[in-house]
Structure 1
Amino acid sequence: MSGARGRDGAANGRVGHTAPGRDGHRTPRRDGAAHGRDGAAHGQDGAAHGRDGAAYGQGGTAHGQGGAVHGQGGYGVPGREAGAPDLWVVVPAYNEAASLPGTLAALAAQQDTAFALVVVDNASTDATAEVVREFARSAPFPVELVPEPEPGAGTAADTGFRYAVRAGARLLLRTDADCLPARDWMAVARAEFGRGAELLCGRSVPRPDERPTFAEARLLPALVRLSALYGRYRAAHRGPRFRAPYVLCHGHNLGITAALYVRCGGAPRERLEEGSEDVTLLNRAREHSGRVVRVEHLVVRSSLRRLRSWGARRTLLWYWDRRYRPVDTEEVHVR
């Protein structure tokens, strides 16, 4: 699988503030030791992520105000260098050049900016990578740009999470490239982690700048909650192997400790149309921890573009175990 993600770790070049290059911009350096040459250090199953560290890059320092960030070798959760951020945000992105600036601006406006950001470019063909590089020049936190050529939201999220863990992250948050986290998103998450939670499942509300109708703002979220209640009583989500109750969990608004992520196996590496990677991650986490919480005041404003493109019925069927799938898989990515 390492070949699928490229054999040249330099492709995972980091963006932002490193050593100045000839053109006056900052350029990344290679340092294979920074991320290890043994892919097993990226999780419990080294084979799943390549046998050499190239799958996650050989790039050198992290960027922005956070300074250098290097993971340490070994299995499981690595150590963290002094002064390095303990909390990382992961944003998977596929052809999101139009929407990503809003997400990045919302992250930059956080009340708590003591974190690092990794954007996973999932084989975009637009200017997604350029948007990230431009943002990194003035970002108030370290910014990483990591390529993932293998398609899939779960795949890209897993790459980002494991990259962050390898760099020393202890706490992880995820949102999507068309979402706007509330200004206190980071602060709320950090407080909940401080209370001992290991998996945070936040609340999703429509983006106000998309001018949601009454049905979009009220009725659809109510239906989503009803479906989550149904999910709680499904046989697949119940049983003695689970240590915490099933809760509504959105992939674009969740947090997890690095220790639990590694322990439970992380997000499934699958395409968007193949399944709900957020539900799979939730259930994997529930098998390993009883500290799974629904946090209503952990808020992300999400886009209505799928609902408006497909309509309510198809959208609900999509989220209900992918009972609706477009004939053309490219239509899965609503832009």
Structure 2
Amino acid sequence: MAVIVPVYDEATGIRPTLEALAGQHDGDFDVVFVDNGSRDGSADVIQAFIAERGLTRWRVIGEPQKGTGAAADTGMRAAIEAGATLLARTDADCLPRADWTAAIRRALTERGLGLVGGELVPRRDEGTSLVTRAVLRGAVHLAEAFGRIRSGNRGSEYLGPYMMAAGCNVGITAELYLAAGGFPRTKIEDLHEDRALVNAVRRLTRAYARRSDVVVYGSSRRVRAWGLKNTLLWYKDHAYRPEHVDIR
């Protein structure tokens, strides 16, 4: 298994993510961090952590083309080239639960899934209130319900129903990733690459599912910067377009 983490200007905040990955119960995985043109020395921070912990299966590569889709695809393909048959992705501001890699491995092997999406729970260490975190969790499930009836996610070409699989909490087999064409090599402001990958998978197989045991704690920094309403509009086809989309 390989875990892919796109990185852009995360030097000051990535340490908890590194700790969360290093603390996985199932430690039998490689990690590919993809530095997407960071200007703050993010790669140096990661390399220092790798050296400090002696993590010989972790590495940093670069992708100059701007975009979460481009960076994620570069990382996925680098991992496949190195021999990975199971792939997982999270983001540099997220905290995978300690059983995350184990749960993804179980879903993609014992459960026979080709793609798995997990639960996205707001982080508890960012000062966000309990009420706001509850609203955010509800918004995630509401967004998936909306996605099921959205015309762009429906059609005779799809073999199964729409499923939301956030890019920061997704697992997929290398075989299916390549067959589906991978993450579109796009900018975050141009396309939701995670939704595009899910829809590509839906054209190929019904072997995909959401799993409640695949848990990642996600950052609420967009909500703090933009407010809840604008954040939801952003994820609804970029109906809200701020001047700066890369929130740090």
Taking structure 1 as the reference length, what is the TM-score of the superposition? 0.72
Aligned to 1:21: none
In structure 1, what is the Cα distance between the partners aligned to 2:205 and 2:16?
Answer: 34
Q: 2:16 aligns with which of 102, 122, 141?
A: 102
In structure 2, what is the Cα distance between the partners aligned to 1:139 and 1:120?
Answer: 19
Does residue 300 (structure 1) correspond to residue 216 (structure 2)? The answer is: yes
Per-residue displacement from partner, 1:62-95 (whole Å, max 9, x unpaired)? xxxxxxxxxxxxxxxxxxxxxxxxx000000000
In structure 1, what is the Cα distance between the partners aligned to 2:19 and 2:54?
Answer: 9
Letter in 2 for 1:334: I
Contact 1:114 1:141 in 2 (8 A): no
Does residue 129 (structure 1) correspond to residue 47 (structure 2)? The answer is: no
Letter in 2 for 1:150: Q
SS at match of 2:189: helix
Per-residue displacement from partner, 1:33-53 (whole Å, max 9, x unpaired)? xxxxxxxxxxxxxxxxxxxxx
Does residue 271 (structure 1) correspond to residue 187 (structure 2)? The answer is: yes
Contact 1:154 1:272 in 2 (8 A): yes
Q: Could you tell me how far 1:132 is from its partner in structure 2?
A: 1.5
Deviation >3 Å, runs of 4+ = none
Q: Could you tell me how far 1:154 is from its partner in structure 2?
A: 0.5
Does residue 253 (structure 1) correspond to residue 169 (structure 2)? The answer is: yes
SS at match of 2:237: coil
In structure 1, what is the Cα distance between the partners aligned to 2:146 and 2:122?
Answer: 22
Pairs within 5 Å for 1:28-177: 87-137=1-51, 138-140=53-55, 142-177=57-92
Cα gap change, 1:290 to 1:141, in 2 (>3 Å)? farther
In structure 2, what is the Cα distance between the partners aligned to 1:160 and 1:139?
Answer: 21
SS at match of 1:273: coil
Letter in 2 for 1:100: I
Letter in 1 for 2:153: H
Pairs within 5 Å for 1:232-247: 232-247=148-163
**Does 166-175 or 133-142 show the bigger shift?**
133-142
Q: Could you tell me how far 1:306 is from its partner in structure 2?
A: 0.5
**Does 209-218 or 278-287 show the bigger shift?**
209-218
Letter in 1 for 2:87: L
Contact 1:113 1:141 in 2 (8 A): no
Q: Could you tell me how far 1:292 is from its partner in structure 2?
A: 0.8
Aligned to 1:187: 102
**Where in structure 1 are there 5+ consecutive unaligned residues?**
1-86
Q: Could you tell me how far 1:227 is from its partner in structure 2?
A: 2.1
In structure 2, what is the Cα distance between the partners aligned to 1:224 and 1:253?
Answer: 13
Contact 2:122 2:136 in 1 (8 A): no
**Where in structure 2 are there 5+ consecutive unaligned residues?**
none
Letter in 1 for 2:173: T
Aligned to 2:245: 332
In structure 2, what is the Cα distance between the partners aligned to 1:217 and 1:319?
Answer: 17
Q: Could you tell me how far 1:248 is from its partner in structure 2?
A: 2.0
Does residue 321 (structure 1) correspond to residue 237 (structure 2)? The answer is: yes
Aligned to 1:213: 129
Letter in 2 for 1:109: G
SS at match of 1:272: coil
Q: Could you tell me how far 1:98 is from its partner in structure 2?
A: 1.3
Contact 1:113 1:140 in 2 (8 A): no
Overall identity of the aligned pairs, in %? 44
Q: Could you tell me how far 1:237 is from its partner in structure 2?
A: 0.8
In structure 2, what is the Cα distance between the partners aligned to 1:323 and 1:139?
Answer: 45
Q: Could you tell me how far 1:220 is from its partner in structure 2?
A: 2.3
Letter in 1 for 2:72: A
In structure 1, what is the Cα distance between the partners aligned to 2:163 and 2:151?
Answer: 14
Aligned residues, how many?
A: 246
Aligned to 1:285: 201
Q: Could you tell me how far 1:244 is from its partner in structure 2?
A: 2.1
Larger relative contact order (CA 8 Å, sep ≥ 6): 2
In structure 1, what is the Cα distance between the partners aligned to 2:142 and 2:176?
Answer: 28
In structure 2, what is the Cα distance between the partners aligned to 1:110 and 1:95?
Answer: 24
SS at match of 2:16: helix
